[in-house]
Structure 1
């Protein structure tokens, strides 16, 4: 037994109210359980009770054992002076208030259905399962799961929004600047994402904006900032970019990163940071006001059109500055663009529309539903448990479910867990 489960039982009144009594046989009628307090002080505030027909308004404190009151030194804390009921799982000692009267105590274990306790143990006491409800989730109604996944998806968006809000504060609410920073991070993928973000946030976006119409200057700026122009290489294109970057560096007082921030090891050549920088440069050169275009997008094909870009001729025959390779177009693949939609475009659109007080749910859901579900080990294991993601919204929601609910055993806060707990 733990206090979280006690809170859950009390909050949702999952106990018998027939003949509900204190340990001293005083009748209790719970009119309002109160508001769950997650800060310091009693667990539930502003509760309303009748104890032997006397109406009481105040707070409720909960413990596994009565003696925990003294263990937590509540008798020394004035925040607990307005407690009107002590709810415990097991009573082992009387608690006295300042007036030397015993605090009314409800021993909850006498009023909780055994079926609820059995379901709780099945969910949370099996440490071998991949998720607590691994073998029970099949029994949950699909309608409930679908609705819960939609809510989880927006919870995930809210988490991503926090990062975006921080970037917006640093960039004076310049959405074009934050789009550049997020695109850079996601062009770097998992391995180089932080390095890409570091170089993208190391420069005032006004400089990027000024040179974005000039393909050569923009390439020089991005490769120079990321440290790839610091070496002495005989390749003519490298020397041209280096000369241009030196001019920009002097003009705008730029400080490059070390190229050692970027990883090539165990990466496919098409994901090399040099190729991703070349693609990012081409995208920004094609669309100087990309954010204003993306914010109007509703259909996935419109995004694909915007992200159809051509790298410069040099990069069609190179993966790095040093060596030539077989010619290839190195266009952005649809699967890569899908990741950008999931991790950059939709979260940024979500924040923009929300900040403006505009309705956003329908636009966001329409766009994310057009994307295929992601493929990874978590989505595969949910599929084995008969929870099959039909689109990217559901795969994103399942990631949120696994990472922030299942792994943390937050079944009491999960719609699926709630359904299983209360099942007969």
Structure 2
């Protein structure tokens, strides 16, 4: 039912737009009590013939000029010319707000995933971790793969790394070829048995990407790492939620490596010089930033535990800033980027404001418009 008591204000550049769009014939506009326009070039009326009061609110020429500069520049960030002169308080307060926005976005995704997994935090955490093991290029493929892992069936064979790998590689569609490799054949045999036992079904994942990847990032290696982690670390999510520092989390995750076979392989049936494929510090930082820390925040909200939420923020402040082209572009124009909290704020700013041309909603954009 329409609420007849709701009063509205309409803002436009030209008054004539209200009539041109036919709003003067729309009963929904009968509730308008004030029409604000930059140029009041005609009278406007409600459907019953009553005139709507108007406010003439012109845009200052310098504001228009600066806004046109923002819209027309091809340099990103568009407001680069003022960033070095911004007060520290302005930068800090906007960074803090952007960090909160980013936490909220990531938390929303976690809660949606949690609902899919019937409030099982362990499964939800592992699927999120798997997605982030794709490190962007294979993120969607890893999530699609993790979504079809039968966790309760795998748990019954969790003590056998061979069988966990069979589950993982089989559900990834990476055991469908005929290869002379003995280890590969063993995995095929195990997967055939498990597939029959648990009536496993899977959809083909044809989107595994190998181009532009270093061998250490090949899906086979990442899946092998996740298999060993799942085999060794029961209640991984619970363990991590009990940690007090980022170093404690790294101590748990630094155990991630692979079975012996993968120390000499990046792919099935293709040998390589022996190398223990553990996670480097930069990779561990990315896992903390994109998986662990958002879960601290989300779980803190779920439990109404402020300490967990505060721990998420504290962890970000103790980690080094990410190093990618977006962060470097901000640093090059004078913004301080010291910690992961800073880099997360700037990623949020770029993706949600700069890329969407939402300069009018940005505090830096506001400062640009009001400059002398």
TM-score, length of structure 2 as denominator length: 0.92
Aligned equivalent of 2:17: 68
CA distance in 1, matches of 2:50, 2:188: 83
Aligned equivalent of 1:324: 271
Unmatched 5+ residue regions in structure 2?
none
CA distance in 2, matches of 1:293, 1:198: 25
Change (3 A) 1:76 1:212: farther
CA distance in 2, matches of 1:393, 1:212: 37
Contact in 2 for aligned 1:279/1:332 (Cα 8 Å): no
Aligned equivalent of 2:200: 254
Instruction: Name which one, 1 or 2, has greater alpha-carbon Rg.
Output: 1
Contact in 1 for aligned 2:337/2:343 (Cα 8 Å): yes
Aligned equivalent of 1:356: 303
Tell me which of 11, 27, 42 is aligned to 1:93: 42
CA distance in 1, matches of 2:48, 2:116: 55
Tell whether 2:354 aligns with 1:406: yes
Misfit runs of 4+, over 6 Å: none
Residue pairs, 1:384-423, within 5 angstroms: 384-423=332-371
Tell whether 2:157 aligns with 1:211: yes
State how many pairs are aligned: 369
Contact in 2 for aligned 1:140/1:420 (Cα 8 Å): no
Unmatched 5+ residue regions in structure 1?
1-39, 47-57
Contact in 2 for aligned 1:298/1:366 (Cα 8 Å): no
Tell whether 2:105 aligns with 1:105: no
CA distance in 2, matches of 1:186, 1:242: 27
Contact in 2 for aligned 1:131/1:407 (Cα 8 Å): no
TM-score, length of structure 1 as denominator length: 0.81
Change (3 A) 1:255 1:93: same
Aligned equivalent of 2:280: 333
Mean CA deviation greater in 255-264 or 368-377: 255-264
Structure with more helix by fraction = 2
Tell me which of 357, 377, 380 is aligned to 2:328: 380
Aligned equivalent of 2:33: 84
Change (3 A) 1:259 1:416: closer
CA distance in 2, matches of 1:318, 1:171: 33
RMSD, matched Cα? 2.3
